[in-house]
Amino acid sequence: MGISVEDEHGDEVDRIVAAWHLERPDLDTAPMSVLSRVTRLARRLDLERRAAFADQHLEPWQFDVLSSLRRAGEPYALTPGALMNELMVSSGTTTNRIDRLEREGLVVRSPSPEDRRTVLVTLTAAGRTRVDTALIALLECETRLLSPLTPEESHRLAGLLRALLLPFERPRTAGPPRG
């Protein structure tokens, strides 16, 4: 196993996996060594993101919507359906989020110039300023979080995580990932 439950040089996941190994030596707990760390890092990242956005008075979901619009490029507009797909949330959640951001003056709804039946959600100047400033804070935070790794290690980790994530992001029509 390598790490004992009492090992002071391991992390919490090492201790959890070692404890499971003692209790259930018949099971291969190796996947926990990777995926439990991913889960714990995701929780930590969420807390760090919240702190990074706090100065901009943004919640992570607000940043996600605003950044989707900002990344769309000029005129920084998307349909609610496109936002729903990009954010991976329901149509009701998308509508609620757009309503709240519109009340804050960060987005506006307007008819599409190509098809007046289609609504566009557009980033306002205030929304653009807010998301640009929050992005700087987020990148500073993420740079700090990745500082224990060399640039090469960070690049390699990004590639490994991409390999794990891709099967979940393939188009649904392609069927389940083969393995």
Give the pLDDT confidence of 56-70 residue by residue, as tens digits.
899 999 999 999 999
d(CA 100, CA 7): 49
d(CA 26, CA 58): 47
Which of the listed CATH numbers 3.30.559.10, 1.20.140.10, 3.20.20.10, 1.10.10.10 matches domain 55-164? Answer: 1.10.10.10
Give the pLDDT confidence of 63-114 residue by residue, as tens digits.
999 999 999 999 999 999 999 999 989 999 999 999 999 999 999 999 888 8
Q: What is the pTM of this model?
A: 0.78
DSSP letter assigned to residue 170: S
Residue range(s) in the chain whose domain bears CATH number 1.10.10.10: 55-164
Pairing of strands 119-123, 107-111: antiparallel
